[in-house]
Amino acid sequence: MKQTIDTAKIQKLELVATTKRYGDTVAVKAINHSFKAGTYSCLLGPSGCGKSSTLRMIAGHEHVSEGDILLGSANITDLPPSARGTAMMFQSYALFPHINVVENVAFSQKMKGVDKAVRAKKAMELLDLVDMVGYADRLPAQLSGGQQQRVALARALITEPSVLLLDEPLSALDPFLRIKMRAELKRLQRELGISFIHVTHSQDEALALADDIIVMNNGLIEQAGAPRDVFNAPKTEFVAKFIGGHNVLKTGPQPLALRADRLMVSRSALPAGEAISGKVLDVEYLGSTVTLSIDAGNEGELVASMSDADFFASPIEIGSTVFLSWKPEDAHELAA
């Protein structure tokens, strides 16, 4: 069953010079960003980068030190969590351990004073949405991590939010389940048409899920954009390194980012100035690709990724010398 969502209710969310201070430390430094309505956005960054603080400010669980948060045309900066049109799914799921699954999902309705039969029916609809009808009478402790997450999702969605906030929702799951739930989150977002804002430190997760990736570091947004743009053309060294799969060349006038899979590996010498030579330190077979670690002298250690077909057509031995070249359009200048 599909949930009917009033599309007029789905609005863009805007951060305007939003700042979070804890005493003297500034966790989030006056960031500006507009989350488009009905998109899947990922706040990506290492721990302590301010991504969780940002999410918690949007949710209303953290006081905004300075700046504003707008949802559509409403300023929601100082509204209580439940009055903002957002709902949060917590990292540990935060299901109430003393009540069963239906009661957990119906909790917000109970707080509003909705009649018991009505709220149970509504909760069952939401449980249907996340495929958990069969577990309605269980206590949270009797569910697996993945099942608890579905219940938490249903509980957040029952408030019919225009923005769903997810705090590292997949980090507590095992790798197999993580990929499965990832697909499901994306499907759910598409079906419901509401905005999802998802905090993660995993670039794979962000690339797989997001319509928009916001890379954060030190309380600032380093880069925001479509996953392909961010991955293909990182703007800063931090983004290039954090998102992975990139080499940063620093010997030129301007640092360059080069995707590992765009480096062309050749065994025969190329004219100087067109290629970098290096010694192969390590070869890692990863199934569809093979990764070479190459000691490139002044450039430090570089990583080149080849398809397994190319590699095994003429295998390269550890210790041999290779020449690396690239197309000019694949080199992206980084902010110094």
Partner 1 sequence: MKKKALDPEKRAERVSWALVTPLTLVLGFFLLLPIATIVSVSFWSYNEWSFYPDFNLDNYMFHLTSAVTWATYLKTLKFVVITWIFCAAIGFSVAYFLAFHVQSLPAQIALFLVCTIPFWTSNIIRMISWIPFLGRNGIANSMLQSLGITDEPLDWLLYSDFAVVLAFVHLYALFMVVPIFNTMMRIDKSLIEAARDAGASGLQILTNVIIPLTKPGIMIGSIFVVTLVMGDVITVRHMSGGQSASVGRIISNEISLLQYPAAAASSVVLLCTVLLMIGIMMRFVNIRKEL
In Å, how far are 19, 250, 265, 311 from 247, measured between CA atoms? 33, 10, 14, 20
Rank residues 25 and 288 by Cβ distance to partner 1 and give the closer one.
Answer: 25
- Six token digits for residue 52: 């969780």
CB of 149 to partner 1, least distance (A): 13
| Least gap, CB of 275 to partner 1 (angstroms) | 54
- Which CB, 85 or 234, lies closer to partner 1? 85
Q: Which is nearer to partner 1, 91 or 289 (CB)?
A: 91
Q: Which is nearer to partner 1, 122 or 262 (CB)?
A: 122
Shortest distance (Å) from residue 154 CB to partner 1:
12
C-alpha–C-alpha distance, residues 198 and 184, integer Å: 14
For the CB of residue 36, give the shortest distance to partner 1 in the complex, in Å: 23
Q: How far is the CB of 89 from partner 1 (least distance, A)?
A: 9
Decide whether 74 or 83 has the Cβ nearer to partner 1: 83
140 or 234: CB nearest partner 1: 140
Q: How far is the CB of 163 from partner 1 (least distance, A)?
A: 12
Which positions lie near partner 1, rule CB under 8 A? 59-61, 80-83, 87-88, 90-92, 94-99, 107-108, 110-112, 155-156, 159
